Amino acid sequence: MRKHKTGFTIAELMIVIVIIGLLSTIALTNLNRTRLQSRDARRTSDIKTIQSALEMYYSKSGGYPVTTEGGCIESGSEVGIEMERDSDVILRLPHDPIWRGFEPALFNDNIKNDYPIGASENYCYWYYGAIDSYYLSYFLETDSKAGEPGIYVQSINN
pLDDT of 122 reads: 62
Are the beta carbons of 72 and 103 closer than 8 angstroms? Answer: yes
pTM of the model: 0.72
User: 21 vs 17, 28, 154, CA distance in Å?
Assistant: 6, 11, 43
Are the beta carbons of 41 and 144 closer than 8 angstroms? Answer: yes
**Average of per-residue pLDDT across 100-114:** 49
pLDDT band per the 50, 70, 90 thresholds, residue 120: low
134, with CB counted inside 10 A (0-12, 13-18, 19+), is buried
pLDDT tens for each residue of 71-98:
888 777 777 887 888 777 788 888 888 8
pLDDT of 32 reads: 86
pLDDT tens for each residue of 25-44:
999 888 888 888 899 999 99
